[in-house]
Amino acid sequence: MKKLDQLNFDNTFSRLPDIFHSRLNPTPLPHSYLVSFNASAAELINLDVTEAERADFADYFIGNRLLPGSEPLSMLYAGHQFGSFVSQLGDGRAILLGEIKNSNGEYWDIQLKGAGITPFSRNGDGRAVLRSSIREYLCSEAMHGLGIPTSRALCIVGSDAEVYRETIESAAVVTRLSPSHVRFGSFEVFAYRDQHEPIALLADYVIAKHFPDISDAPDKYLRFLNEVITRTASLMAQWQAVGFAHGVMNTDNMSILGLTFDYGPFGFMETYDPGFICNHSDHGGRYAFDQQPQIGLWNLACLAQALTPIIAVEEAQEALENYEPTYFEHYTELMGKKLGLTNVTKEDASLVTPLLEMMRASQLDYTNLFRSLGLFKFAPDERSSELRDQFVDRAAFDAWADVYRTRLQSEPGTDEERKARMDKVNPKYILRNSMAQSAIALAERERDFSEVDRLLALLSRPFDEQPEMEDYAAPAPDWARHVVVSCSS
């Protein structure tokens, strides 16, 4: 493991022409202090975890000192925001320090979010607040624990500096790790400018770094688009299966590698509601939970349009037609596994749809219901009243259970073996807004970050029974209904 001054930087993105980025250093913040450090993420960049104990550690990860070998920059991109195109966005409060190549040959961007004003800040202050930093830190690690592709979070560093949002809050910087921060909007900006050479140059860069097996293919750009389509379809299926809503699925927030990132007004759906809107700023429900798969395709169409200078329009359109079947294949497989099925077929969708409708009608907790479904017994005389009694229409559940039981006849193993399979895919713990808010309140009120660390540990093992943490699996308390997250979160 390496010390801070030994990290192996190899800054490939900074070697692209200046048209892709602007070079600048983070703006220092006074009175820095470490909020939380994630040892698991530190392993990704071969960082010795004892380095977090250094007196100057916080200064490196709030922008007061530069890591040796870093070449700070902010990235240029455009994007469709709530359906409307904005021709220039870019990193308005994030600064990419560089890329670290670890001992496995993997590259990890290391980015400070909230590091100060950049040329792309558009009258913003370039800062993030402690509240939003804690939310991103916890959610990115929660998603990783769930096995969903995501950026990672190394640490949060706070400051006594004041930042104005709806009220006066304290500043903070979250250090984000990701294989890449290139996004759909990174291509859109050059398509809008009718600059075709940068589109090809950026595509070549991404392909060489992340899809080297297609680098020499004569149709490499089309294959690249197909890869992005497949990854995005898979990601959307994983979001839907676990009940995650991103909240701001603008094209500038869509990863070219099919990762979840740019966490803002996200939310894990609690009571099952397909129209769940997690973003208080989303007045029209464009990014409601049940709209996410469709928006994924819409955003891919924007990317495909941006790539038409290097891909034939007809080929791009044909590639987009693969999205829906790919999405439904992944979603059906994931939902079948949540039901304990080992050989999932497309016909198994007929089990999922009525179950979800009964959950909606009974206003059941999405995560807890699927977890408790592991208690389902195959033998008719061993029905679990605890499971059945959760449903308002018990007769409807009985009818569904009979169909489910018939389907299970073709599955191997015992009830206990099926429950073990289901517990590996149906989490017991998710990051509920009430949990994040409790950690934020304690941090803001008393500068006590113990709940942040407690949740970090809990959410790293979301499928495990953790008896001492049982209360965190309960539905949110009534006060949590009043927790509002928006685009400022």
State the catalytic residues: 252
Q: Which residues lie below 8 Å from residue 327, measured CB to CB, with a gap of 6+?
A: 233, 234, 236, 237, 293, 296, 297
Distance (Å, rounded) from C-alpha 148 to C-alpha 152? 11
Tell me if 113 is assigned to a ligand binding site.
Answer: yes
Q: Any binding-site annotation on 231?
A: no
In the numeric block, the tokens 């740019």 are attached to: 262
Cα 188-194-198 angle, rounded to 5 deg: 65
267 is in an annotated binding site: no
State how far the Cα of 59 lies from the Cα of 36, in Å rounded to an integer.
14
Token pair recorded at residue 137: 């830190």
Return d(Cα 187, Cα 487) in angstroms, integer: 23
90 marked among binding-site residues: yes
337 annotated binding-site participant: no
Q: Which residues pair with 176 in a beta bridge?
A: 111, 153
Judging by DSSP bridges, how do beta strands 267-268 and 152-164 pair with one another? unpaired
- 262 marked as binding residue: yes
Burial per residue of 284-319, b for 16 or more beta-carbon CB atoms within 10 angstroms, e otherwise: eebbbbebbbebbbebbebbbbbbebbbeeebbeeb
Residue 85: count other Cβ atoms within 10 Å of its Cβ: 13
Contact 24, 118 (CB under 8 A): yes
**125 assigned binding-site residue:** yes
Angle between the 349-362 and 394-408 helix axes, to the nearest 10 degrees? 160
Residue numbering of the annotated binding site for Mg(2+): 253, 262
Residue numbering of the annotated binding site for ATP: 90, 92-93, 113, 125-126, 176, 183, 262
Residue numbering of the annotated binding site: 90, 92-93, 113, 125-126, 176, 183, 253, 262
